[in-house]
Chains A and B, each alone.
Chain A
Amino acid sequence: MSGAESLGNEGAAGEDVDRTPVPNADVCIVGAGPAGALVADRLAADHEVVVLDAGPRFDPADRLARQERAIRPFYGRPDVWGVGGERDAYENAGERGYPLNHARVKGVGGSTLHWQGMVMRLHEDDFNSGSERGVGTDWPIDYADLRPYYADAERELGVAGASDNPYAPPREEPHPMPAFEPSYSDSLFAEACEELGIDMHSVPNARNSEPYDDRSACVGYGTCQPVCPSGGKYDATVHVERAEGKGATVIDRASVGTLEHDEEDRVTAAVYATPDGEEHRQEADAFVVAAGGVETPRLLLLSASDRHPSGLANSSGHVGEFFMDHLFAGAGGTLDEPTRQNHVGFYTSACDQFYDEADETQAPFKLEFFNYAGPSPVEMALSGEDWGDPLLERLRDGYGNHVAMGGLVEQVPQADSRVALAEDRTDDHGNPVPRIEWTVGDRALDTIERANEIQVAILEELGAEVEWVAGPDATGPAYHHMGTTRMSDDPERGVVDADCRTHDLENCWIASSSVFPTSGAMNPTLTIAALALRVADDVDARLSGA
């Protein structure tokens, strides 16, 4: 069906779907994003697995129409995947506003449907921030614990990368696919960086540089974020479909409102509502909450009971606390020569040279060399009061000479940066919506300035006229919500243990960036995937009695 406004009726298409609970389920997973999908895929062959997701199952045939939404000015970013409305209501109450519905997709595939697809491993020191950098806390696991799972995750997602990054943590094998070639603008940056003694290297992409896993190579649509029509970019529907092929049941539009437990502190059922107004109880032997950094703590808080009055798995009082995101630092401008931007929607070169300089006062940060600086001509064409030759002239003036750099900066986990429940506002099922209180400390803000200094120096060396700088006052989140059910060996200091199993409930795991004790400055999804595969191993071992 063509046309951007032809979308939006996923619900009606699925009215006759059976959304009743699965009898004799071994594992119930809440959330069909990358973490839930990977756990389901790993367990489905040997266990009865059911996955519940609050959002719809999107029709792959609609992706071009979603792309049209991404390009047309009438539609906002949340409209591309139908985020928003009563279902997704939320409140902001912190010192900084957090645009939650720009930062997530609800539905089968989760936020990988709109992600950019950058997949770096965390650095070794990221797991030991407290002891190595003197700030934050240490993870109860090390890089070495996660290293084989990182390699596994790279194979599962399909990662194109190279081993030319001298600052990356050690790896045991090449990436599954060769890296994407550097862009033309990378070659311009390279000369400037060489003059300044700054190293550039490739970046790992969860995007096919060649056909992989029965999916197409990238065909260059250029709209990776928020939608890839070709399937060249990984999204979690890959593993949802694979899990279903092994016998898993995935129920969409099943909004889990509470987890029930017994007197022995075992979760017994996920109570969920379906579009027909019915409420169901999905029982299982093991539960995996994989609902992201906001809905995961919200579900635990909504599941408060007489026995757990402050929320499930919350004897530490830390559920919802330590909410983190990566801060964006950027700068851009124009050159007096063509830069060939906006052919693709991903970047191909980065700089991790300054990452491990991190200490108490400077956060880890990474730098990115954009391939999509400045406006996209087709988007420009749809806004304005001109057409014909004057429009073409405006497009030629506006497109062609832009360059830009981005960067991500870690924020220190703070207890007062948190996700709680709103007091007066409820969602479409009558449940309190999330209230986000996002705060960012001086270390991150100071580090953004440091990143800006380097970015501006590179741009000036390049001969660019610097036209914008996204510094501490203009920064925003990278849409990586993390930290709200942190991992710790100490039940008083964290929500889950080193196996991502809740301290309080022996058959409940959390597979999500919400378990990150610190965030590093690397995009989180590869670490989410690695942890999910590790969770699957632990669940399997315990269900199998190992």
Chain B
Amino acid sequence: MELTRRDATAALAAIGATGGVALGVRRTTDAGAGDGADGAVDGAEELPDDEAVRETMAATAAAVYPEAVSGIDAFVGGFLDGRLDGSAHGEGIRAAVAELESTARSWYDAPVADLPVADRDELLRGLGTDTAEEHPHGTTAERVRYYVVNELLLALYASPTGGELVGIENPQGYAGGAESYTRGPP
């Protein structure tokens, strides 16, 4: 099942973005990575720019999304257009991605995007993000769970396509109208 621009728009509409973000029109410069949000990794040499964040997030999505979905890169990129908006949340994503990348380079001597999908899965589990509860100011595992893994899962399963994978075309968080609840199963 292919994720579409509509899905990315819906995911943004569901969980918020700075107004006026046009999907598909990406910023090509990264006006400073900022100082990082609360809980930004100490000692991170350099926070990734927007393109690098998108690349890592899309690569991670390939590991945490079901095999049935396609169109991940465009979906994640479009979604992040609205999230990397200079907010504390956007900077939290950037910092968590930095930690994930730092760990990948340390353990595998390669960036996340260059790892086989199985190794990305192993990386996330090795960090403890599978058993961690999300926490925006917690441990590395908790922050990666919050800003990376759950960020991606929230975007997917609050979108129409993600919902349809489960059997609900109007999932919670998606403004899918007040008619679908009256309809029987397809």
Q: Which of B88, B121, B130, B175 has a CB less than 8 Å from the CB of A385? A: B130
For residue A10, CB closer than 8 A to chain B, the reply is: no
For residue B17, CB closer than 8 A to chain A, the reply is: yes
Determine if A386 and B130 form an interchain contact, defined as CB atoms under 8 angstroms apart.
yes
Shortest Cβ gap from B160 to chain A (Å)? 11
In this complex, what residue of A is CB-closest to B67? A389
Q: Which of B66, B177, B183 has a CB less than 8 Å from the CB of A388? A: B66
Shortest Cβ gap from B11 to chain A (Å)? 10
Q: Residues of A within 8 Å of B, CB-based: how many? A: 58
Q: How far, in whole Å, are A401 and B170 apart by their CA atoms in the complex?
A: 16
Determine if B134 and A3 form an interchain contact, defined as CB atoms under 8 angstroms apart.
no
Determine if A387 and B153 form an interchain contact, defined as CB atoms under 8 angstroms apart.
yes
Q: Mark B174-186, 1 if CB is under 8 A from A, else 0.
A: 1111111111110
In this complex, what residue of B is CB-closest to A382? B150
Secondary structure type dominating chain B contacts = loop
Q: How far, in whole Å, are A112 and B153 apart by their CA atoms in the complex?
A: 30
Q: Which of B87, B89, B131, B177 has a CB less than 8 Å from the CB of A219? A: B177
Determine if B153 and A382 form an interchain contact, defined as CB atoms under 8 angstroms apart.
yes
Determine if A399 and B166 form an interchain contact, defined as CB atoms under 8 angstroms apart.
yes
Q: Which of A1, A378, A381 has a CB less than 8 Å from the CB of B87? A: A1
For residue A396, CB closer than 8 A to chain B, the reply is: yes
CB neighbours (8 Å) of B171 from chain A are: 222, 342, 376-378
Determine if B173 and A223 form an interchain contact, defined as CB atoms under 8 angstroms apart.
yes
Q: Mark A450-481, 1 if CB is under 8 A from B, else 0.
A: 00000000000000000000000000000000
Given contacts A65-B16, A338-B185, A395-B157, contact A377 B168 (CB under 8 A): yes
In this complex, what residue of B is CB-closest to A338? B185
Shortest Cβ gap from B91 to chain A (Å)? 9
Given contacts A340-B185, A371-B181, contact A68 B16 (CB under 8 A): yes
Q: Which of B150, B178, B184 has a CB less than 8 Å from the CB of A184? A: B184
Q: Which of A61, A74, A220, A388 has a CB less than 8 Å from the CB of B67? A: A388
Q: Which of B67, B89, B131, B180 has a CB less than 8 Å from the CB of A6? A: B89
Shortest Cβ gap from A357 to chain B (Å)? 31
Q: Which of B14, B66, B146, B150 has a CB less than 8 Å from the CB of A67? A: B14
For residue B6, CB closer than 8 A to chain A, the reply is: no
- Residues B136-183 near A (CB distance < 8 A): 136-137, 146, 149-150, 153-154, 156-158, 162-163, 165-168, 170-183
Q: How far, in whole Å, are A377 and B157 apart by their CA atoms in the complex?
A: 7
CB neighbours (8 Å) of A72 from chain B are: 134, 146, 150, 154
For residue A64, CB closer than 8 A to chain B, the reply is: yes
Task: Name the residue in B67, B83, B162, B167 with the highest tally of chain A Cβ atoms < 10 Å from its Cβ.
Answer: B167
Q: How far, in whole Å, are A31 and B173 apart by their CA atoms in the complex?
A: 30
Q: Which of B67, B167, B178 has a CB less than 8 Å from the CB of A344? A: B178
A-B contact pairs, 18 of them (CB 8 A): A64-B16, A68-B16, A71-B154, A71-B158, A72-B154, A74-B135, A74-B136, A219-B175, A221-B14, A221-B175, A222-B171, A342-B168, A343-B180, A381-B154, A382-B154, A387-B153, A395-B166, A399-B168
Name A's B-contacting residues (CB within 8 A).
1-6, 61, 64-65, 67-68, 71-74, 180-184, 187, 209, 217-223, 229-230, 337-338, 340, 342-345, 348, 371, 376-379, 381-383, 385-389, 391-392, 395-396, 399-400
